[in-house]
Amino acid sequence: TRTPVNVTVTGAAGQIGYALLFRIASGHLLGADVPVKLRLLEIPQGLKAAEGTAMELDDCAFPLLKGIEITDDPNVGFDGANVALLVGARPRTKGMERGDLLSANGGIFKPQGKAINDNAADDVRVLVVGNPANTNALIAQAAAPDVPAERFTAMTRLDHNRAISQLAAKTGASVSDIKRLTIWGNHSATQYPDIFHAEIAGKSAAEIVDDEQWLADTFIPTVAKRGAAIIEARGASSAASAANAAIDHIHTWVNGTAEGDWTSMGIPSDGSYGVPEGLISSFPVVCKDGKYEIVQGLDINEFSRTRIDASVRELEEERDAVRELGLL
């Protein structure tokens, strides 16, 4: 029998947490043969609701679930963590300036980064979901100097999945025929979903679409503003689709991308494609043997270059702002 993998979920009592925990416990995160132990990290006000969720997890009698621990202490929450899903974050409330938002989240992600540094397992893999995800990941990573920087990632998989779905709807293709789509940059309205290297059943997606106007005026804004459209329709922000994307992100990282395909992950830049080293930006990546590598050598046309640069500029501004706040 395999030793259980320790999976820590922060913000466990929130709506993404609720959509996420049952799928982790039923084997969708790592595989149907991998036992897991869950650690739910919440703030004191969230502990009771987290206990309720844990009762429901018990009631599912999941064969793979080997234990649940609930805590509001990051040092306990990340103790021995192999996978850390940082979902809990401080949402922007009315009248809050961007600086206030960044500093409120710095107060969460800096101590959590340190707790990961001091307590997590040597092979820890971190996914930041809580927004602003890329910059929160940067703050946590900077607070964890003993953990290899590349273990800190930010989620753009929801954007990636949204883009695949929109492209499938436009072309009448099946989602499983779409490969090599890329999200570049920040998980924000400036993100750039790129279909110029994408393939639909082996043929160039850009040639099949053959409509730059649709790309610029419909596809890109629809993907980038999908979160707002969900809030408008549902009266609450995306939760099940965000949880699904978090599952996809870790599953792909650990188990690999399919032959001939790649995925999108927010990862520390190594300077590829002109993205300044160290920024946590979304790239096309191939995953293999539990590691990821940026897909190299893609030809970036003018249309793409402008948009990648704009999103990267926003990431630089966020980095500079948190640096000024003393969070890096």
Q: Which of 35, 88, 193, 284 binds ligand NAI (CB under 6 A)?
A: 88
Given a contact cutoff of 8 angstroms between Cβ atoms, the answer to whether 128 and 137 are in contact is: yes
Q: Which is nearer to ligand NAI, 171 or 237 (CB)?
A: 237
Structure tokens at 315: 């990431």
CA distance 69 to 105: 24
Neighbours of 52 (CB within 10 A): 12
Asked whether residue 141 is marked as a ligand-binding residue, the answer is no
Q: Which is nearer to ligand NAI, 133 or 178 (CB)?
A: 133
Q: Which is nearer to ligand NAI, 208 or 327 (CB)?
A: 327
Least CB distance to ligand NAI at residue 158 (A): 4
DSSP labels, 287-303: EETTEEEEPP-----HH
Structure tokens at 232: 């408008």
Least CB distance to ligand NAI at residue 245 (A): 6
**Does the footprint of ligand NAI cover residue 209 (CB under 6 A)?**
no
For residue 187, indicate whether it is catalytic.
yes
Strand partners, 154: 128, 266
**Does the footprint of ligand NAI cover residue 133 (CB under 6 A)?**
yes
Considering only CA atoms, which of 151, 144, 87 is closest in space to residue 125? 151
- Residue 92 has phi, psi (to 5 degrees) of -75, 125
Asked whether residue 68 is marked as a ligand-binding residue, the answer is no
Binding-site residues for substrate, please? 92, 98, 131, 162
Binding positions for NAD(+): 11-17, 105, 112, 129-131
Which residues are catalytic, by number? 187
Judged by the rule CB under 6 A, the positions of this chain that interact with ligand NAI are 10-11, 13-17, 41-43, 46, 87-89, 91, 108, 129-131, 133, 155, 158, 187, 237-239, 242
